[in-house]
Amino acid sequence: MSESDLPEGWELVVGLEVHVELATNTKLFCSCPNMFGDEANTNVCPTCLGLPGSLPVVNEQAVHFAMVLGRALGCTVQPSVFARKNYFYPDMPKDYQVSQYDLPTNGEGALELPDGYVVGIERAHIEEDTGKSTHVGGDGRISGADYSLVDYNRAGVPLVEVVSRPNMHTIEHAKAYVSELRDILLATGVSDAKMEEGSMRVDANVSVRPTGSTELRTRCEIKNVNSIRSMGRAIDYEAHRHIDLYNNNDAPRQETRHWDEANGRTRPGRSKEDADDYRYFAEPDLLPLDPTAAEIAAIDEAMPALPQQRRRALAEAAGLVPADVALVVERNQDELALAALAAGAGGAGVVKHLINNLADGAGQLTPEAFAGLVSMETRGDLSSTQAKTVLAELVANGGQPADVAAGLGFEAMDTSELEILVDGLIADNPDEWGRFCEGDKKIQGFFVGQIMKATKGQADGKVVNQLLASRASSS
Ligand code: ZN
Ligand code: MN
């Protein structure tokens, strides 16, 4: 059973909120360094500590990065207003978070997954990060802790929160969405997108509904899963929990839940606030943002090739579909693939080797050598096992495929030599040959095997089969 499978009659509904830390040098509203892993409370000032009388000054680079991400997600970049989101939490010293509410910087957009499925983006707004609490003693939760520590180095780090529409219905799509978003962040350079360092934090809104229904039932928000794999497990657990509740004439309550990786379950957090509870109002200490058409055009102009475009370009050049080349693009090997194609290699061979044999990188392999190797294999000068061996050598030490093949003793067998061997084998095995000519497929392996044995594996299986077929049709 695939993990995206729900019991018959139920459909999964997932929307994702991803907090992305922007790769700026300094924080969103002050000049403190935006740095992960420094000693606690060393990158702080009156502004990011929320001391009375301090005033925010907006970081232009952060706003630029936010707009770049918005455009990469096909969002409308629009005039926007910062807003105060009021709530109390020890790691948020002002007792409000500066965020955006009804006028986010980036409006409606969309993200296309490698298989062509399109996930709607509702908005991608700018906000400041909070500090980080560490609960000491007990099992790391606030309840049962002996005491708690707060590090404000993260307070005021610029974030963009990317909010998807709840239109993902399989765990595979939810995972592909996060993976695609990460690749877009890396391609545009707006974030280092390290989930393990918290620079990309995913909250998953999960609900279920009867198949065929379009209603949105009560959702639970699973917080802070720290890998794509954990997110998949958490969604799966949560969906089944909802179904069990409905099957027992009960229903889930709207709440945040925390993923417990060790026990493979979610546990309740706080009951989820609605927007009303936050008492949003426009931030009086900051001006609205109003990017000009020229600024937005310049962002579009400078936009690097995004994963989706790169998949399309490679798929077209290789004569394949985008999903086939997704892994190559994800590994940033599309440039090598395109160069090998341009040097005359066949698309299927190039992609096959990149996916199966070049996962750890191409090392000393040049596009020309790669193209030459694929062509040798396609012509039948090298068997696929030999090609793999030659490729490993080219990756390790460089060189030309023909030289490496010769050095390894992988000389292509002359077809006339092979013909003599095949004819001899036929003459020695008249009964088996009779069965072959009558179309017994099983006996084909016997002939190929004998030739391979006689040539110590140097014969090309494809050529042997062709020879056998031509002999059979003329006998
Ligand atoms: Zn500061
Ligand atoms: Mn947020």
428-439 tens-digit pLDDT: 999 999 999 998
Rounded to an integer, the average pLDDT of 67-92 is: 96
CA 34 to chain centroid: 25
- 331 CA to middle of ligand 2, Å? 30
- Give tens-digit pLDDT for 380-404: 888 888 999 999 999 999 999 999 9
Kindly give the distance from the C-alpha atom of residue 131 to the centroid of ligand 2, in angstroms, as a whole number. 13
Tell me the CA–centroid distance for residue 68 and ligand 2, in Å.
19
Report how far ligand 1's centroid is from the alpha carbon of 26 (Å): 8
**CA 251–ligand 1 middle distance (angstroms):** 44
- Residue extents of the structural domains in the chain: 3-301, 305-407, 415-473
Q: Please state, in angstroms and rounded to a whole number, the distance separating the CA atoms of residues 220 and 208.
A: 10
Closest CA to 112 of 65, 39, 180, 179: 180
CA of 31 to the centre of ligand 1 (A): 6
Cα of 104 vs centre of ligand 2, distance in Å, is 12
DSSP 28: S
Q: Which ligand is nearest to the CA of 101?
A: 2
Task: For residue 83, give the ligand nearest its CA.
Answer: 2
Tokens of 419: 């013909």
- Ligand 1 centroid distance, CA of 52 (Å): 13
> What does CATH list as the number for 415-473?
1.10.10
The pTM of the full predicted model, rounded to 2 decimals, is: 0.84
Report CA(407)–ligand 2 centroid distance (Å).
Answer: 60
Tell me which ligand sits closest to the C-alpha of residue 162.
2
pLDDT at 2: 43
Can you give the pLDDT at residue 1? 37
Q: What is the Å distance from ligand 1's center to 41 Cα?
A: 10
- The 10s digit of each residue's pLDDT in 139-197 is 777 778 899 999 999 999 999 999 999 999 999 999 999 999 999 999 999 999 999 89
Question: Is-contact 75 109, C-beta < 8 A?
Answer: yes
Going from the Cα of 386 to the center of ligand 2, the distance in angstroms, rounded, reads 54
**Residue closest to 19 by CA, chosen among 130, 108, 119, 93:** 130
pLDDT of residue 393: 95
Which ligand is nearest to the Cα of residue 35, counting in written order? Answer: 1
pLDDT, average across residues 319-326: 94
* Cα of 125 from ligand 2 centre, angstroms: 8
* Strand stretches in 229-346, DSSP E: 255-260, 265-271, 281-282
Mean pLDDT of 1-13: 77
CA separation for the pair 319, 334 (Å, rounded): 14
Alpha carbons within 13 angstroms on the beta-carbon side of residue 384 total 8
Q: Which of 120-129, 248-257, 348-357, 455-464 has the lowest mean pLDDT?
A: 455-464
Identify how many contiguous H helices and E strands the chain contains and give both numbers: 15, 13
Cβ–Cβ < 8 Å for 307, 180: yes
Task: Quote the ligand 1 centre to 289 CA distance (angstroms).
Answer: 21
Structure tokens at 156: 């005021």
